[in-house]
Amino acid sequence: MVAGGPDDWLEWLSRSYVPIGLNHVLLSFTDPFTLKAWADLEVPGLPDLCDQVRLFGEQVLPELP
């Protein structure tokens, strides 16, 4: 599980996965709709699912080895 923004995701994946040789990760995003439906919570500024996937693809994947 990752939390925070793209810099946090990159740091966590680089520190936890890459050093031990893992090259696959199962990633799940929590968008505002799912968070509200499952936990009745709202997080101000939480990007929707499309924006989270876009951020991951544009800012995290290119930086991973």
| DSSP class of 61 | G
2-56: pLDDT as tens digits: 778 899 999 988 888 889 988 888 888 889 999 999 999 999 999 999 999 999 9
Exposure b/e, 38-49, CB count within 10 A at least 16 = b: eeeeeeeebeee
Domain assignment present for residue 53? The answer is yes
Domains in the chain, number: 1
Q: What is the pLDDT of residue 1?
A: 65
Where in the sequence is the domain holding 11, given as residue range(s)?
6-63
Q: How many angstroms separate the Cα of 12 from the Cα of each of 20, 24, 35?
A: 13, 14, 22
Query: Looking at the domain assignment, is residue 1 inside a domain?
Result: no
How many other β-carbons are positioned within 10 Å of the β-carbon of residue 10? 19
